[in-house]
Amino acid sequence: MEFNLEKLVRPHLKDLKSYATLRDIYVGEKMFFLDASENPFGEFNRYPQGNPVDLKTCLAKINGVKEANLFLGNGSDELIDFTQRIFCEPGKDSILMMNPSFVMYEIYAKMNNLKIEKLNLNSDFQLEKSAFLQTVSKTEAKLLFLCSPNNPTGNAIEDLEFYIQNFSGIVVVDEAYIEFSKEVSAVKLLEKYPNLIVLKTLSKAYGMAGLRIGIGFASEEVARLYNRFKPPYNISSESQKLALEQLKNLPQIEENISKILAEKERLKNSLSQISQIVKIYPSEANFFLVEFKDAEFAYKKLLENKILTSLRHPALKNCLRISVGTTEENSKLLNVLAQI
Ligand SMILES: *Cc1c(COP(=O)(O)O)cnc(C)c1O
């Protein structure tokens, strides 16, 4: 597919100057910082680094890319929003997304006044190639959001490369759960496809949802666009500092992932014994989509026992999305479910 970035970026952004600050160049030097109307007193008085170099260096290394291919958001949610705002004209452009999939693509699209076109997944929650090609031949959507492993269904999308290849706009592959799966990250495909953007997050497998850090990967050209238009200080200094501290201990993070995966296996085996459960969908993530005889009832019973699950997606009848918790949490969950 022919790819033309110029044609995809919203035209009025071409001449828009970003909020320039020279501060980052001087960070670490003994200087009088009288440039940003900060309060000279206090523990948190300074703005954070606008371009968090240390954190970027660390994340680039972990993911095997150059820093120039990275951009960071206040959670990957913010990057989903930016992506729409960089490429799509409100009231005119549209996005293409899978159904069911992560609801935030749709919520942001509504906030940004974009049209939404949906690709219905088949009974295995996979995309259908022929239906996809048919849709693509008719659509003018500028963005395609693919979520793999998909939330809320849990499965990885097969043959991602086919969809990236056959879409002439920007393809966003959201890999919020990739660290839990057997799949290889699409970051590997960046050199091959200039229209590809990959999103990851520190919120799930890295265990830092409270810090709000999302990671975007793209060609240097596309990454520059994000870095130019993002809010100047979108990652707080505390988040930068704490994330770096946590990332120093990767073995601990990996150990926690292994624990979650072991619990996931146990949970699956035990859930399959429960008579109220009709089906446990295959999952490459740290949650299960579970079909119940009566999901509403199960949801209420769990809630009465102080266990909150997710009954969220309108396209999925009688299903709950249940995260894998600690051994104690999972045992309690199983106990309550066994009794209904
Ligand atoms: C949780 C999740 C995100 C994440 O979020 P953050 O804003 O980085 O916390 C993005 N995409 C999907 C599919 C998710 O499930």
Query: Does 21 score more than 80 pLDDT?
Result: no
Q: Which residue has the tokens 């579970």?
A: 290
Percent of the chain with pLDDT over 90: 89
Mean pLDDT of the region 167-179: 97
How far, in Å, from the CA of 178 to the mean position of ligand 1?
11
For residue 76 and ligand 1, the question of a CB distance below 6 A is answered with yes
- pLDDT single digits (tens) 263-288: 999 999 999 999 999 999 999 999 99
If you take atom 6 of ligand 1, which residue's CA is the nearest one? 75
Mean pLDDT of the region 6-14: 93
How far, in Å, from the CA of 103 to the mean position of ligand 1?
10
Mean pLDDT of the region 286-314: 94
Half-sphere exposure for 114 (CA within 13 Å, toward CB): 28
Token reading at 39: 């309060």
> Given ligand 1 and candidates 101, 104, 199, which is best to mutate, with the most ligand atoms within 8 Å of its CB?
104
Is 79:73 a contact under the CB 8 Å cutoff?
Answer: yes
Query: Does 301 score more than 90 pLDDT?
Result: yes
For residue 209 and ligand 1, the question of a CB distance below 6 A is answered with yes
If you take atom 7 of ligand 1, which residue's CA is the nearest one? 75
Mean pLDDT of the region 59-64: 98
User: What are the residues whose beta carbons fall under 8 Å from the beta carbon of 159, sequence distance 6 or more?
Assistant: 129
For residue 214 and ligand 1, the question of a CB distance below 6 A is answered with yes
How far, in Å, from the CA of 74 to the mean position of ligand 1?
11
